[in-house]
Amino acid sequence: MALLRGIGIPCRFHGFTIDQRLQKGAIPGYIFWLAPKYIIHSWVEVFYEGRWVNLEGFILDQPYLDAIKAKFPNEKGSFCGYGVATKCLSNPEVDWQGKNTYIQKEGIHDDYGVYDSPDDFYSEVGTNLSGVKRWLYERLIRHLINRNVSKIRSKEIW
């Protein structure tokens, strides 16, 4: 949002939760039980050609998407897992074409709507984790998840 606003593109924050099962595979199994049932997530909306366009695609880049497609070559339609929830795994709506992009839309549980900034959202909604789980996530778990995602991206995990 800061980069978009820095170059004069109006944008806003859209907050929601996704079902935990959407992250199965992206979050290693041995720590999956620590994930909340509904995980706070978001996308950015930009004002483009007179309308708001949703830009959602966290975690996902082409090497990651290629790895998921290679792991599940027979999944042409709906897919949920590894940070992906789409109606069409073989051709998800992720490339910029001047319209909405999505990779986790089909996993939305609670839609909190739009906010001017992430700070506004988090001050109203809060976070998923607190106490020991938050401490573990900040210091250990997020690094393990990032390592797992890197392995998926490089197809090292299969």
User: Chain-wide mean pLDDT for the chain?
Assistant: 92
Question: Shortest CA distance to 85 belongs to which of 9, 142, 41, 23?
Answer: 23
In-domain check, residue 67: yes
Residue 110 has pLDDT above 90, yes or no: yes
In-domain check, residue 54: yes
- Per cent of the chain over pLDDT 70 is 98
For the residues of 42-74, what is the DSSP string, one character each? EEEEEEETTEEEEE--TT--HHHHHHHHHHSTT
- Work out how many domains the chain is built from and give that number: 1
pLDDT in tens, 68-89: 999 999 988 899 999 999 999 9
- Domain range spanning residue 148? 2-153
* pLDDT, position 59: 66
In-domain check, residue 158: no
If pLDDT is split at 50, 70 and 90, which confidence band does 144 have?
very high
